[in-house]
């Protein structure tokens, strides 16, 4: 029992109290990522993937304090970064409005959580954040796309851009073909995918969509620039994903790039210039970049601006949550 509860209480030390009081929906659930163990085994300072307060419990500066000046805060993006920032900033006394062009909370985690082998647990983070936002009085504006005009019309005191990343474009010939789609559309079932699929990007998003597609009977190959697949996966967990790739017959060409997309195949170029063809009906782009689409507009208006999560630098769920919390206590 102690072993099973240990990681769960790192994610939420108040879990037993909340259970006894019938507040189960206020529990921040462990997502079983093993980051805490990975750091422990490497003699690194303790931290938690989804609990920014972990190891900072005795530091008063890490708790939301009453702000000297109450502000109207516009948060663009209702993913993990935006939601975390929203309820924390509200606890400081600010009036917080969260905007998202989707009708549902969760951002790109809505698609990422559809990958197999336990990724569905990631949505427990959003469920917790939603409850905290509701309790804090955060106002949501779903189905509303934030534009230059909307920012100028509302003129908030602070804007937080948590819009998520944009997806990279394949620069070689054929990069603009109709059979080149992004990972979000594939995971959401919005894109048609052929039998032979090449996933461009060998980090976790690419591995996730590759495993998702192979479960549908597709023949999947991964091509990525990193020297090893799963570069961004927790080291104590990465070996499992390498086994999943092998068990499902997924070939990963690391330290490589897509040079050209032709009918029925792509040309892969290795780091040392060697080229070879790979059968391909569909290319799925999982490589991400920072999203600065609204940054210049906000700066031109002279409004206080913060950029968080994948909009700042594409990383993982943990970075999004920690970004949101740390900016939330600063506004």
The pLDDT assigned to 165 comes to: 98
Average pLDDT over residues 210-232: 97
- Whether 2 and 141 share a structural domain: no
Average pLDDT over residues 203-222: 98
- Whether 15 and 38 share a structural domain: yes
Q: What is the pTM of this model?
A: 0.96
More confident residue, 38 or 123: 123
* Count of domains observed in the chain: 3
Beta pairing, strands 166-167 & 180-182: unpaired
The pLDDT assigned to 185 comes to: 98
Burial 302-315, CB ≥16 within 10 A → b, else e: ebeebbbbbbbebb
Burial 175-194, CB ≥16 within 10 A → b, else e: beeebbbbbbbbbeeebebe
* Domain end residue (candidates: 63, 90, 111): 63
Would the pLDDT of 2 be above 80? no
The pLDDT assigned to 226 comes to: 97
More confident residue, 289 or 3: 289
- Whether 302 and 159 share a structural domain: yes
241: Cβ–Cβ under 8 A, 6 or more apart, which residues? 117, 204, 207, 229, 230, 233
Q: How far apart, in whole angstroms, are the C-alpha atoms of residue 172 and residue 258?
A: 7
The pLDDT assigned to 266 comes to: 98
Average pLDDT over residues 145-172: 97
- Whether 172 and 161 share a structural domain: no
Average pLDDT over residues 130-147: 98
Domain assignment of residue 5, given as a range: 1-63
Q: How far apart, in whole angstroms, are the C-alpha atoms of residue 304 and residue 296?
A: 12
**Residue 1 pLDDT class (50, 70, 90 cuts):** low
- Whether 80 and 128 share a structural domain: yes
For the stretch 247-300, pLDDT in tens is: 999 999 999 999 999 999 999 999 999 999 999 999 999 999 999 999 999 999
For the stretch 37-96, pLDDT in tens is: 888 888 988 899 999 999 999 999 999 999 999 999 999 999 999 999 999 999 999 999
- Whether 42 and 118 share a structural domain: no
Mean pLDDT in the chain?
A: 96
Would the pLDDT of 158 be above 80? yes
* Domain at 278, CATH number: 3.50.50.60
Average pLDDT over residues 238-254: 97
- Whether 284 and 175 share a structural domain: yes
């Amino acid at each position: 029992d102690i072993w099973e509860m240990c990681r769960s209480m790192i994610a939420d030390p108040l879990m037993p109290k909340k259970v006894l009081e019938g507040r189960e929906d206020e529990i921040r659930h462990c997502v079983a990522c093993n980051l805490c163990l990975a750091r422990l085994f490497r003699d690194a300072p303790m931290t938690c993937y989804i609990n920014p307060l972990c190891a900072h419990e005795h530091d008063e500066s890490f708790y939301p304090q009453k702000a000297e000046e109450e502000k109207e805060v516009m948060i663009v993006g209702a993913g993990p970064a935006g939601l975390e920032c929203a309820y924390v900033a509200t606890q400081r006394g600010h009036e917080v409005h969260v905007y998202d062009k989707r009708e549902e909370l969760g951002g790109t985690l809505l698609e990422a959580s559809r990958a197999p082998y336990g990724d569905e647990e990631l949505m427990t983070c959003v469920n917790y954040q939603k409850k905290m936002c509701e309790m804090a009085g955060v106002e949501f504006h779903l189905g509303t796309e934030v534009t230059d005009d909307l920012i100028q019309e509302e003129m908030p005191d602070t804007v937080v851009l948590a819009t998520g990343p944009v997806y990279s474009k394949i620069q070689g010939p054929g990069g603009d073909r109709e059979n080149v789609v992004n990972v979000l559309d594939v995971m959401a079932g919005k894109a048609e995918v052929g039998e032979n699929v090449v996933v461009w990007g060998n980090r976790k998003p690419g591995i996730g969509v590759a495993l998702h597609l192979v479960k549908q009977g597709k023949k999947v190959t991964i091509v990525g620039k990193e020297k090893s697949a799963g570069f961004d996966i927790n080291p104590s967990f990465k070996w499992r994903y390498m086994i999943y790739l092998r068990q499902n017959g997924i070939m990963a060409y690391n330290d490589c790039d897509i040079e050209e997309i032709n009918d029925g195949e792509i040309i892969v170029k290795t780091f040392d210039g060697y080229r070879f063809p790979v059968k391909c009906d569909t290319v799925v782009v999982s490589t991400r970049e920072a999203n600065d689409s609204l940054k210049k507009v906000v700066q031109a208006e002279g409004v206080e601006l913060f950029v968080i999560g994948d909009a700042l630098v594409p990383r993982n769920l943990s970075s999004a949550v920690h970004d949101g919390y740390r900016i939330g206590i600063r506004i």
